[in-house]
A and B are shown apart, each in its own frame.
Chain A
Amino acid sequence: MPEEEGRKVLTVAELTRDIKSALESGFSGVWVEGEISNYKVYTSGHVYFTLKDDQAQIRAVMWKGKRAHLKFEPKDGDHVVCRGRVSVFEKRGEYQVVVEAMEPKGLGALQAAFEQLKKKLAAEGFFDEARKRPLPYIPWSVGIVTSPKGAVIRDMVRTINRRFPGLRIVLAPVRVQGDGAAGKIASAIADMNEYGQVDVIIVGRGGGSLEDLWAFNEEPVARAIFASKIPVVSAVGHETDFTIADFVADLRASTPTAAAEQIAPEREAVEESLGESLKSMTIELRDMTEGYARQTDDLSDRAARALASTTRHFRERLSGAARHLKALSPAVTLKNQKASLANLMKGMSASLSRTGKNKRSESAAMVNRLFAIQPGRNVARLRDALERRFFALNERTRAIMSDRRARARLVSGRLEAVSPLAVLERGYSIVTSPDGKVIYKSVKSLSPGMGVKIRMADGDVPASIGGKKADRQEKLF
Chain B
Amino acid sequence: MNEKNDSGKNLKFEAALKRLEEIVSKLESGELELEKSIELFEEGVKMAKTCQKKLDEAEKKIEKLVRDQEGKLTTEPMEEAGEDAPF
* Interface residues of A, Cβ cutoff 8 Å to B: 136-141, 143, 148-151, 153-154, 157, 161, 164-173, 188, 191-192, 194-199, 267, 270-271, 274, 277-278, 280-282, 284-285, 288-289, 292, 411, 414-415, 418, 476-477
Contacts and interface: CB of A to CB of B under 8 A. Distances in A.
Interface string B72-83: 011100100000
Contact of A285 (B6, B37, B78): B37
Nearest to B29: A284
B75 to A, nearest CB: 6
A267 B27 contact: no
B30 A284 contact: yes
Contacts of B20: 274, 277
Contacts, number: 139
Contacts of A476: 48
Nearest to A418: B41
Contacts of A284: 24, 27-28, 30, 37
Contacts of B10: 136, 138-141, 199
Nearest to A140: B10
B84 A418 contact: no
Contacts of A285: 27, 37-38, 41
B44 A157 contact: no
Interface residues on B, range: 35 or more
B34 A288 contact: yes
Nearest to B32: A288
A166 B73 contact: no
Given A280-B28, A284-B28, A166 B86 contact: no
Given A194-B73, A199-B7, A168 B60 contact: yes
A148 B42 CA distance: 47
Contact of A171 (B23, B28, B32, B65): B65
Nearest to A292: B34
Contacts of B45: 278, 281
A476 B20 CA distance: 15
Contacts of B4: 197
B9 A140 contact: yes
A346 to B, nearest CB: 79
Given A166-B55, A197-B6, A289 B34 contact: yes
A414 B61 CA distance: 43
A195 B13 CA distance: 21
Nearest to B25: A280
Contact of A140 (B17, B37, B58): B58
Of listed B3, B13, B75, residue having the most chain A CB within 10 A: B75
Contacts of A271: 52, 55
A199 B6 contact: yes
A141 B60 CA distance: 10
A171 B63 contact: yes
A140 to B, nearest CB: 5
Given A157-B86, A284-B27, A411-B34, A166 B52 contact: no
B52 A477 contact: yes
11 contacts: A137-B17, A140-B13, A154-B86, A157-B87, A188-B65, A282-B41, A285-B27, A285-B38, A288-B32, A289-B34, A411-B34
A464 B63 CA distance: 50
A414 B34 CA distance: 10
Contact of B38 (A194, A267, A414): A414
Contacts of A165: 58, 60
A415 B42 CA distance: 11
A166 B21 contact: no
A52 to B, nearest CB: 39
Pick the 3 closest A-B CB pairs, nearest first: A166-B58, A284-B27, A154-B86
Contacts of B75: 170, 195
A199 B14 CA distance: 12
B62 A274 contact: no
Given A137-B17, A161-B60, A171-B63, 17 more contacts: A140-B6, A148-B86, A157-B87, A166-B55, A166-B60, A168-B62, A169-B61, A170-B75, A171-B64, A171-B78, A197-B6, A199-B6, A277-B48, A280-B24, A281-B24, A281-B41, A284-B24
